[in-house]
């Protein structure tokens, strides 16, 4: 397998313009002859589908939810970055590029990140034009706030519902095309396999979740915009239906899976309370603009927070990282919280949380202003915990949030399977080993609105694509394997709900492949995961039939894929003998507990190639070169 | 604690349904209502029985997927909350709770508690957008929007499309949903060029889907998990009247 990044040569500022010029164009009259299949309707999928339909391609879109508007991008809270420099605080494309490369711990591809920073400004303009109600100043101009890992205010927001508003913007653009007949929408449809003909992606096999009908769809290109795999940990901030199935099926059909061990643990989530829990809720990072994080100085101090005097509190982020304070990047803040609770200074019933305190902010800017900025987040916290954060500090703890790994893609966002593109969180390209706040929304929309619509043209004109119909034997074969799998899931006749086995996998993942990883724990995970997988196929209980609406069957299929993927994630973590971003190998840290990278051995992308059932996957590398940003130790002190 | 549930079971849209009783044991107050249903389903699966079908996804009150009528109320007894935000601390040991799907002719039942709300997507496709192509928008600050206008538009835009307004309305009207979208765009300069066309098209699509009319029952506002105000319906009516007067 060859990993050709196709990054243009020459100065990075000109790369994207040069590349766009060099890409061949599709004659407007020919566009309608090409069909593009888009899987997923989050920011990346909805924006790509709408933009491709506008250009004149035939587009068919698939999502597992009952409506494209429900994709998990809707839950993103805090904001979206752009290098507009409206606040005049020294921001620029170059600074956004620099912060993102540094924030990703020098494990992202420079050219992709530069392009992301470049198009960021157009994203804001596009969304404003769509009627996204961004927060505004009294004079009518756009408001900004700052986010973790940045010292400028470059984050645009719509209360604590930025993801929702951006997604509804993209969704409205998509529905406009649906109304115009340019997009055919398939809701409650799950992609269960990729169809590859003569080495190129030419279709997908889906299951209509409402009727159980297995369908074949042929096209000239397939876009996977299916989000991340954080739910491999069982508990995460992801929606319940977020899964790895589409990308995992693509991996098994030849798409390389890059950096699966890069998982982001978000520092600001509502803590775990018990076994029954189905998910964790994120409290936006923007809260750390005004909230102060602390724990009691003394171990086991179980006084009420308001009874602990100022002198007996440890505002540990402000103490350890005076320059960035509470706004250090997510990996740093997460590990610092873990250190405090490991040290016995955690708070709450379980001792597994720290305080996020707004008392000072309420004093400084007033209750009304705090309500206006964060009201819905406070309400959300109140709903879940029954505690009023206006009266007492919130309790927060890190949780799995975002995955920086994903299918390997080149500069055109194409995977190692020609014609198979991967956008947004589902690919690996822009965030390196750690994602800075407010950059996920930026990447999803950049890929969908401003990158893919250009690069897909280059693929469609640059390659001879013979007409393929769904009668082709590759479709028959793929549909056969989907049916066989459904039969196996229904035939296990066991006693355990898929969620029970998923929870078992999650425990192994969180304990051994979570915030801190070491060789011993990873090896343990690598022996435990196949055991759980074996039990799954013997003892899973899937009641009902495949020709019906069957949520247990849906769930079981996704858990089965997580049980395979979890092993690859642990394997990748074991081989990467360094600490970087969200990947923290305990063997590799500085004397004061910070991550220690090994640039000599690991300044590369690790991309795994599937070699067949029961075979060891092959690890390939794409070297990362840093010509524009000086590679350095990340220092936020 | 233990709870007795009376749940609507229905195989599909064409077969009749009925309330079935289940005793759920081992519930803790910190559980969400949906986690309580998950617990029931795990127990049913362990016995090889068909689990309850219900929709949910983000489980933090924003995706709009969860949609239960709990003791006669859309999204249950808490004000300004979705079903997934309802917690079992609201109940006590021995309570009997009835759970039904969002009922409306325009939302056909898929199975048990799951309904088909794609009518909302079709209403949106009729005109709930600004016709702007990708890639040539003017600078965001070239469109000045006063703070209060932006906030008001945001209040309307907060709609999650869950359909509680329809389920709560005695007429199964979709007016609050449509009003929220029409208001958002009517309040913003970006929405002006298609202002009349939009409201006429969305109203027409709403009627075609079989939703009822608004008779000012205020039930939609009371049930809305995002507390969208009924004043938006007044705005929708003004927009509709205005459009019929000014359109050619």
Backbone torsions φ then ψ of A61, nearest 5 degrees: -120, 140
| Interfacial A residues in 350-389 facing B (CB < 8 Å) | 379-380, 383-384, 386
**For chain A, what is the radius of gyration of the CA atoms?**
24
Q: Quote the tokens at residue B204.
A: 């027409």
Q: Which residues of A touch B64 (CB under 8 A)?
A: 69-70
Span A50-67, pLDDT tens digits:
999 999 999 999 999 999
The pLDDT-based confidence of A148 (bands split at 50, 70, 90) is confident
* Other Cβ atoms within 10 Å of A618 Cβ, number: 12
User: CB–CB of A541/A494 below 8 Å?
Assistant: yes
B184 touches A at CB < 8 Å: yes
A626-631 mean pLDDT = 95
B140-166 mean pLDDT = 97
- Residues of chain A with pLDDT > 90, as a percent, come to 93
Rounded Cα distance between B189 and B119, Å, is 27
Rounded Cα distance between A16 and A122, Å, is 14
Q: Quote the tokens at residue A170.
A: 């993209």
Span A387-442, pLDDT tens digits:
999 999 999 999 999 999 999 999 999 999 999 999 999 999 999 999 999 999 99
Q: What is the pLDDT of residue B196?
A: 97
User: CB–CB of A349/A282 below 8 Å?
Assistant: no
Phi-psi region of A563 (alpha: psi -120 to 50; beta: other; left: phi over 0): alpha
Nearest in space to A156 (alpha carbons), one of A148, A147, A164: A147
* Other Cβ atoms within 10 Å of B215 Cβ, number: 10
In A143-250, the DSSP E strands lie at 155-156, 183-186, 189-197, 200-208, 214-218, 221-224
- B46, A380: Cβ pair inside 8 Å? no
- A497, B145: Cβ pair inside 8 Å? no
Place of tokens 């077969």: B15
Q: What is the pLDDT of residue A78?
A: 83
Say how many CA atoms lie within 13 Å of A503 toward its Cβ.
15
Q: Quote the tokens at residue A66.
A: 């009952």
Q: Nearest chain A residue to B50 by CA: give it.
A: A543
Catalytic residue among A69, A95, A207, A330: A330
A13-21 mean pLDDT = 97
Backbone torsions φ then ψ of A96, nearest 5 degrees: -65, -40
| Strand, helix or coil for residue A223 | strand
Q: What is the pLDDT of residue A637?
A: 77
Q: Residue B181 pLDDT > 90, yes or no? A: yes
User: CB–CB of B227/B174 below 8 Å?
Assistant: no
Environment class of A252 (CB within 10 Å of its CB; exposed 0-12, middle 13-18, buried 19+): middle
Q: Residue A116 pLDDT > 70, yes or no? A: yes
What strands, in cross-sheet order, belong to the sheet with A313-314? A263-269, A394-403, A354-357, A292-296, A313-314
Which residue in A133, A273, A496 is closest to B150 by CB distance?
A133
| Interfacial A residues in 473-502 facing B (CB < 8 Å) | 493, 495-497, 499-500
Q: Which residues of B touch A273 (CB under 8 A)?
A: 30
Q: Which residues of A touch B160 (CB under 8 A)?
A: 164
Known active-site residue A330: yes
Nearest in space to B154 (alpha carbons), one of A144, A136, A43, A284: A136
Q: Which residues of B touch A450 (CB under 8 A)?
A: 134-135
Q: Which residues of A touch B127 (CB under 8 A)?
A: 179
* Tally of helices (H runs) and strands (E runs) in chain A: 18, 19
Q: Which of B124, B151, B163, B181 to mutate to test the interface with A (most CBs of A within 10 A)?
A: B124
The residues that bridge with A61 in the sheet, in sequence order, are A38, A185
| Interfacial B residues in 121-150 facing A (CB < 8 Å) | 121, 124-135, 137-141, 143-147, 149-150
Q: Which of B134, B139, B148 to mutate to test the interface with A (most CBs of A within 10 A)?
A: B134
SS3 for A475-531 is HHHHHHHHHHHHHHHHHCCCCECHHHHHHHHHHHHHHHHCCCECHHHHHHHHHHHHH
What is A178-208 written as a DSSP string?
Answer: HHTTSEEEE-SEEEEEEEEETTEEEEEEEEE
**For chain B, what is the radius of gyration of the CA atoms?**
20
* Other Cβ atoms within 10 Å of B13 Cβ, number: 12
Span B169-179, pLDDT tens digits:
999 999 999 99
- A173, B134: Cβ pair inside 8 Å? yes
Cα–chain center distance at A69: 18
- Beta-sheet pairing, A183-186 with A58-62: parallel
A601 touches B at CB < 8 Å: no
Min Cα–Cα distance to chain B from A541, Å: 6
| Interfacial A residues in 155-184 facing B (CB < 8 Å) | 158-159, 161, 164-165, 168, 171-173, 175-176, 178-179
B15 touches A at CB < 8 Å: no
The count of residues in chain A is 637
* Other Cβ atoms within 10 Å of A304 Cβ, number: 7
The dihedral of CA B135, B140, B142, B143: what is its sign? positive
Phi-psi region of A354 (alpha: psi -120 to 50; beta: other; left: phi over 0): beta
User: CB–CB of B102/B167 below 8 Å?
Assistant: yes
A596-613 mean pLDDT = 97
A465-478 mean pLDDT = 97
B70-94 mean pLDDT = 97
**Average pLDDT along chain A:** 96
User: CB–CB of A420/A427 below 8 Å?
Assistant: no
- Residues of chain A with pLDDT > 70, as a percent, come to 100
Span A251-287, pLDDT tens digits:
999 999 999 999 999 999 999 988 899 999 998 888 9
What is A38-85 written as a DSSP string?
Answer: EE--SHHHHHHHHHHHHHT-EEEEE-SSSSGGGSGGGG--S-EE----
The question of ipTM being above 0.85 is answered as yes
Q: Quote the tokens at residue B100.
A: 């039904």
The pLDDT-based confidence of A609 (bands split at 50, 70, 90) is very high
* Other Cβ atoms within 10 Å of A173 Cβ, number: 27
Place of tokens 């395979």: A564
Per DSSP, B52 falls in state P
Rounded Cα distance between A36 and A218, Å, is 9
Q: Nearest chain B residue to A54 by CA: give it.
A: B133
Q: Which residues of B touch A552 (CB under 8 A)?
A: 41, 45, 51
Span A523-546, pLDDT tens digits:
999 999 999 999 999 999 999 999
Q: Nearest chain B residue to A554 by CA: give it.
A: B53
Q: Which residues of B touch A270 (CB under 8 A)?
A: none
Cβ-proximal residues to A505 (8 Å cutoff; 6+ apart), any chain: A232, A234, A529, A532, A559, A562, A563, A566
Q: Specify the DSSP element, H or E, that contains A323.
A: none
Nearest in space to A302 (alpha carbons), one of A268, A339, A267, A353: A353
- B57, A128: Cβ pair inside 8 Å? no
Rounded Cα distance between A505 and A529, Å, is 7
Q: Which residues of B touch A449 (CB under 8 A)?
A: 134-135
Which residue in A84, A133, A241 is closest to B154 by CB distance?
A133
Q: What is the pLDDT of residue A146?
A: 86
The pLDDT-based confidence of B247 (bands split at 50, 70, 90) is low
A227-247 mean pLDDT = 98
| Strand, helix or coil for residue B20 | strand
Rounded Cα distance between B13 and B11, Å, is 7
Span B23-47, pLDDT tens digits:
999 999 999 999 999 999 999 999 9
The residues that bridge with A60 in the sheet, in sequence order, are A37, A184
- B30, A176: Cβ pair inside 8 Å? no
Cβ-proximal residues to A162 (8 Å cutoff; 6+ apart), any chain: A76, A77, A78, A79, A80, A156, A441
Span A289-318, pLDDT tens digits:
899 999 999 999 999 999 999 999 999 999
Min Cα–Cα distance to chain A from B113, Å: 12
A239 touches B at CB < 8 Å: yes
Rounded Cα distance between A102 and A156, Å, is 21
Q: What is the pLDDT of residue A280?
A: 94
Q: Residue B248 pLDDT > 70, yes or no? A: no
């Amino acid at each position: 397998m060859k990993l050709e990044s196709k990054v243009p040569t020459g100065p990075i500022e000109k790369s994207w313009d040069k590349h766009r010029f060099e890409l061949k164009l599709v004659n407007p009259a020919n566009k309608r002859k090409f069909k593009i299949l888009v899987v997923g309707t989050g920011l990346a999928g909805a924006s790509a589908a709408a933009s491709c339909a506008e250009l004149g391609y035939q587009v068919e879109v698939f999502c597992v939810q009952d409506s494209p508007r429900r994709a998990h991008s809707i839950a993103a809270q805090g904001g979206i970055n752009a290098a507009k420099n409206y606040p005049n605080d020294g921001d620029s494309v170059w600074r956004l590029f620099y912060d993102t490369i540094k924030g990703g711990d020098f494990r992202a591809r420079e050219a992709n990140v530069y392009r992301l920073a470049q198009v960021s400004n157009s994203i804001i303009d596009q969304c404003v034009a769509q009627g996204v109600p961004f927060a505004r100043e009294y004079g009518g101009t756009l408001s900004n706030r700052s986010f973790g890992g940045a010292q400028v205010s470059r984050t645009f927001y719509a209360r604590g519902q930025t993801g929702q508003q951006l997604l509804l913007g993209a969704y409205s653009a998509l529905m406009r095309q649906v109304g115009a007949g340019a997009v055919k929408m398939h809701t409650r449809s799950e992609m269960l396999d990729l169809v590859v003909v003569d080495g190129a992606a030419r279709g997908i096999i889906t299951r209509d979740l409402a009727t159980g009908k297995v369908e074949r769809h042929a096209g000239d290109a397939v876009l996977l915009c299916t989000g991340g795999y954080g739910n491999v940990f069982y508990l995460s901030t992801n929606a319940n239906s977020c899964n790895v199935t589409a990308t995992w099926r693509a991996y098994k059909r030849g798409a390389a899976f890059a950096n699966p061990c890069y998982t982001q643990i978000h520092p600001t989530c509502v803590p775990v309370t018990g076994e029954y829990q189905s998910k964790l809720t994120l409290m936006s990072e923007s809260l750390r603009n005004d909230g102060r994080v602390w724990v009691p100085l003394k171990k086991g101090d179980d006084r009420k927070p308001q009874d602990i005097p100022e002198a007996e509190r440890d505002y540990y982020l402000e103490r350890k990282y005076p320059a960035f304070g509470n706004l250090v990047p997510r990996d740093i803040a997460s590990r610092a919280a873990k250190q405090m609770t490991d040290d016995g200074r955690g708070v709450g019933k379980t001792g597994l949380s720290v305080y996020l305190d707004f008392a000072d902010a309420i004093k400084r800017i007033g209750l009304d202003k705090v309500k206006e900025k964060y009201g819905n987040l406070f309400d959300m916290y109140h709903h879940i915990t029954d505690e009023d954060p206006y009266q007492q500090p919130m309790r927060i703890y890190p949780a799995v949030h975002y995955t920086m790994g994903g299918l390997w893609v080149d500069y055109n966002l194409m995977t190692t399977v020609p014609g198979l593109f991967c956008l947004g969180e589902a690919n690996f390209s822009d965030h390196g080993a750690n994602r800075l706040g407010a950059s996920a929304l930026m990447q999803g929309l950049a890929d969908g609105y401003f990158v893919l619509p250009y690069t897909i043209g280059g693929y469609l004109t640059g390659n001879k694509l013979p007409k393929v119909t769904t009668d082709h034997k590759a479709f028959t074969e793929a549909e056969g394997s989907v049916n066989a799998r459904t039969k196996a899931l229904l035939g296990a006749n066991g006693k355990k709900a898929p969620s029970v086995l998923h929870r078992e996998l999650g425990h192994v993942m969180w304990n051994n492949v979570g915030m801190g990883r070491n060789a011993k724990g990873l090896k343990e995970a690598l022996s435990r995961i196949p055991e759980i997988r074996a039990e799954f196929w013997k003892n899973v209980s899937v009641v009902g039939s495949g020709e019906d609406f069957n949520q247990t069957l849906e769930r079981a299929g996704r858990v089965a894929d997580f049980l395979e993927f979890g092993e690859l994630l642990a394997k990748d973590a074991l081989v990467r003998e360094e600490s970087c971003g969200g990947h923290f190998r305990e063997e590799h840290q500085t004397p004061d507990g910070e991550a220690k990278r090994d640039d000599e051995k690991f300044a590369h992308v690790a991309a795994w190639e599937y070699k067949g059932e029961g075979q060891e996957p092959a690890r390939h590398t794409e070297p990362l070169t840093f010509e524009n940003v000086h590679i350095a130790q990340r220092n936020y002190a | 604690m233990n709870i007795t549930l009376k749940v609507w079971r229905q195989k599909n849209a064409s077969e009749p349904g009925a309330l079935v009783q289940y005793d759920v044991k081992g519930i803790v107050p910190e559980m969400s209502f949906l986690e309580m249903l998950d617990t029931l389903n795990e127990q049913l699966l362990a016995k090889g029985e068909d689990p309850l079908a219900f929709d949910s996804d983000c489980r933090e009150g924003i995706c709009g997927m969860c949609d239960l009528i709990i003791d006669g109320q859309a999204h249950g007894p808490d004000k300004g909350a979705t079903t997934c935000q309802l917690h079992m601390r609201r109940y006590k040991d021995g309570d009997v709770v009835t759970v039904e799907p969002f009922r409306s002719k325009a939302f056909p039942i898929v199975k048990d508690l799951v309904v088909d709300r794609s009518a909302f997507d079709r209403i949106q496709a009729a005109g709930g957008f600004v016709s702007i192509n990708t890639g040539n928008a003017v600078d965001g600050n070239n469109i000045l929007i006063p703070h209060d206008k932006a906030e008001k538009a945001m209040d309307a835009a907060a709609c999650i499309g869950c359909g509680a307004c329809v389920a709560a309305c005695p007429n199964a009207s979709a007016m609050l949903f449509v009003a929220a979208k029409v208001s958002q765009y009517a309040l913003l300069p970006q929405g002006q060029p298609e202002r009349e066309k939009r409201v006429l098209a969305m109203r027409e699509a709403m009627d075609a889907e079989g939703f009822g009319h608004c008779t000012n029952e205020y039930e939609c506002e009371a049930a809305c998990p995002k507390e969208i105000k009924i004043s938006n319906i007044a705005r929708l009516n003004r927009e509709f009247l205005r459009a019929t007067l000014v359109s050619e």
